[in-house]
A and B are shown apart, each in its own frame.
Chain A
Amino acid sequence: MSLWQSLARFLDPSGGVKSDPFVLGSREESSANEAEELGPTQLSDAQLRTASVLTHIDNLLDAQDEGAESLEQAGDLSCDLDENLERLKKLFRMPENKDLVMRELVIATQPPTRAVALFMEGLSDKNVINSAVLEPLMLLAHLDHHVGSEGEHGPTAFSVDTLLKRLITSNQTTKKYDMKTIADSLLYGDTVLLFEGSKVALAMETKGFPVRSVTTPQVERVIQGPQDAFVESFRFNVALCRKRLKDPRMVTEILTVGELSKTYVAMMYLDGIANPDLIAEVRRRVNAVKTDIVGSAGVLEQFIEDSPSALLPGMLTTERPDRAVAYLSEGNVCLVVDGTPFVLVCPVTFWGLLQTSEDYYLRAPFGTLIRFLRLAALAIALLVPAFYIAIVNYHPEMIPTELLLFAASSRESVPMPAVMELLSMDIAFELIREAGIRIPSVIGPSIGLVSSLILGQAAVEAKLVSPLLILIVAITGLASFAVPHYMSGFGIRSLRFLFVMAATLLGFYGLAAALFILVVHMSAMRSFGVPYLAPAAPARGGLTDMLVRPPMFDMELRPAYTRPLKDRRQKEIVRTWDPHVPPSGEGDDPH
Chain B
Amino acid sequence: MKAMEGQIGLLQGTLLVYAVLAAKLFVQYPGFLIDSAGPAAWQTALIMTGAAMLLFMPTAMLAKRFPRQSLASIAVEVTGPILGRVLTLLVGLWLFAAATITVRAFTETFIISILPTTPPSMLTLAILLCIVYASWRGFEPLCRANQVLFPMLIVAIILVLLFSLPRADINRLFPIWGKGIDQTLISGLLFSSMAAEALILPVLGYAFADPDTLRNSGLTGILLFGVSATATVAVLITIFGAPDAAEQSFPMFNLARLVYLGRFLQRIESLVVMFWFFAAAVRLSALFHAGIVILTQTLNLPWYRPLLYPAALLIGTVSLFPKDFVTVLRLDQYWLRPFGIGLMLVPLLLLLVARIRRKGGEAHAAQA
Q: Which residues of A contact B (CB under 8 A)?
A: 394-395, 397-398, 400, 505-513, 515-517, 519-524, 531, 533, 536-539
Please give me the residue from chain B that is nearest to A395 by CB atom: B270
Nearest 5 pairs of A and B residues by beta carbon? A523-B144, A512-B277, A524-B141, A537-B144, A537-B147
Minimum C-beta distance from B35 to chain A (A) = 28
Residues of B within 8 A of A538 (CB): 9, 11-12, 144, 147
Residues of B within 8 A of A539 (CB): 9, 11, 147
A507, A519, A522, A524: the one contacting B114 at CB < 8 Å is A507
Q: List 14 A-B contacts (CB under 8 A).
A: A394-B270, A398-B268, A400-B263, A400-B265, A505-B122, A508-B271, A509-B110, A512-B278, A516-B130, A517-B130, A520-B142, A520-B285, A523-B148, A531-B144
Residues of A within 8 A of B171 (CB): none
- B144 and A513 contacting across the interface, CB-CB below 8 Å: no
B145 at interface by CB-CB < 8 Å = yes
B1 at interface by CB-CB < 8 Å = no
- B126 and A510 contacting across the interface, CB-CB below 8 Å: yes
Residues of B within 8 A of A508 (CB): 114, 270-271, 273-274, 277
Knowing A516-B149, A521-B137, A523-B144, the reply to whether A506 touches B271 (Cβ < 8 A) is no
Residues of B within 8 A of A516 (CB): 130, 134, 145, 149, 277-278, 281
B118 at interface by CB-CB < 8 Å = yes
Which B93-126 residues have C-beta < 8 A from chain A?
110, 114-115, 118, 122-123, 126
B260 at interface by CB-CB < 8 Å = no
Residues of A within 8 A of B12 (CB): 537-538
Please give me the residue from chain A that is nearest to B281 by CB atom: A516
Residues of A within 8 A of B347 (CB): none
Knowing A506-B118, A520-B145, A531-B144, the reply to whether A398 touches B271 (Cβ < 8 A) is yes
Minimum C-beta distance from A488 to chain B (A) = 17
Please give me the residue from chain B that is nearest to A512 by CB atom: B277
Knowing A394-B115, A513-B127, A537-B145, the reply to whether A506 touches B122 (Cβ < 8 A) is yes
- B267 and A398 contacting across the interface, CB-CB below 8 Å: yes
- A513 and B148 contacting across the interface, CB-CB below 8 Å: no
Minimum C-beta distance from A147 to chain B (A) = 71
Chain B at the A interface: SS class = helix
Please give me the residue from chain A that is nearest to B111 by CB atom: A509
Minimum C-beta distance from B118 to chain A (A) = 7
- B141 and A520 contacting across the interface, CB-CB below 8 Å: yes
A539 to B13, CA, bound (A): 12
List 8 extra interface pairs beyond A519-B149, A520-B141, A537-B144, CB under 8 A.
A398-B266, A508-B273, A509-B123, A509-B274, A512-B281, A513-B130, A520-B142, A521-B133
- B147 and A520 contacting across the interface, CB-CB below 8 Å: no
A515 to B140, CA, bound (A): 18
Residues of A within 8 A of B133 (CB): 517, 520-521
Residues of A within 8 A of B264 (CB): 400
Max chain B C-beta neighbours (<10 A), residue from A394, A398, A400, A508:
A508
Minimum C-beta distance from A140 to chain B (A) = 67
B138 at interface by CB-CB < 8 Å = yes
Residues of A within 8 A of B268 (CB): 398
A182 to B26, CA, bound (A): 74
Residues of A within 8 A of B143 (CB): 537
Residues of A within 8 A of B266 (CB): 398, 400
A513 to B149, CA, bound (A): 12
Minimum C-beta distance from B262 to chain A (A) = 9
B129 at interface by CB-CB < 8 Å = yes
- B277 and A523 contacting across the interface, CB-CB below 8 Å: no
Residues of B within 8 A of A398 (CB): 266-268, 270-271
Please give me the residue from chain A that is nearest to B149 by CB atom: A519
Residues of A within 8 A of B149 (CB): 516, 519
- B134 and A520 contacting across the interface, CB-CB below 8 Å: yes
Minimum C-beta distance from B123 to chain A (A) = 6
- B9 and A397 contacting across the interface, CB-CB below 8 Å: no
Minimum C-beta distance from B280 to chain A (A) = 9
Residues of A within 8 A of B123 (CB): 506, 509
- A533 and B270 contacting across the interface, CB-CB below 8 Å: no
Which B1-46 residues have C-beta < 8 A from chain A?
9, 11-12
- B147 and A536 contacting across the interface, CB-CB below 8 Å: yes
Please give me the residue from chain B that is nearest to A403 by CB atom: B264
